[in-house]
Amino acid sequence: MHGPFHRGGARKPMGEINVVPFIDVMLVLLVIFMITAPMLTQGVNVDLPQVTSEPIDPPEDSDPINVSVESDGKYSIWVGNDDAREVSIDEIADRVIILLERKPGTPVMVHGDRNVAYGQVVTLMSTLQTAGVANVGLISEPPSGGE
């Protein structure tokens, strides 16, 4: 005898996979990654030295791109032994992009006056990062015995 809910015939195995739970999980992960991704990419990475550093030898085949922030807040840019040219912060990215298109892989060095605000150096480094510069060198003078 069969119950009221019994269907006649044998059950056939289902040949399809139910992907709805999989899609739900993927949408939740997508939302999580969309929220956290901008938090991970902000900022300028700087490895601060723990000890007195040794001078680095510049590559022989290319002169570095030098960018400076002076104590009065003015920015200058030059390549190798050329004369420094005063530029605005907005022009720096354009000039660096042009120079890197001519010679990819050219090192970029930042000269920051010790009396300039830290925020101006960070702004400069952020501008260089948006111009496509992967590594930025910070130029300093060796400590003198009196300081």
Domain boundaries, the chain: 65-139
Domain spanning 65-139, CATH architecture: 2-Layer Sandwich (3.30)
Cβ partners under 8 Å of residue 86, min gap 6: 74, 75, 76
pTM > 0.85: yes or no: no
Average the pLDDT over each of 35-44, 70-79, 101-110, 111-120 and give the range with the smallest value.
35-44
pLDDT of residue 46: 40
Per-chain mean pLDDT for the chain: 76
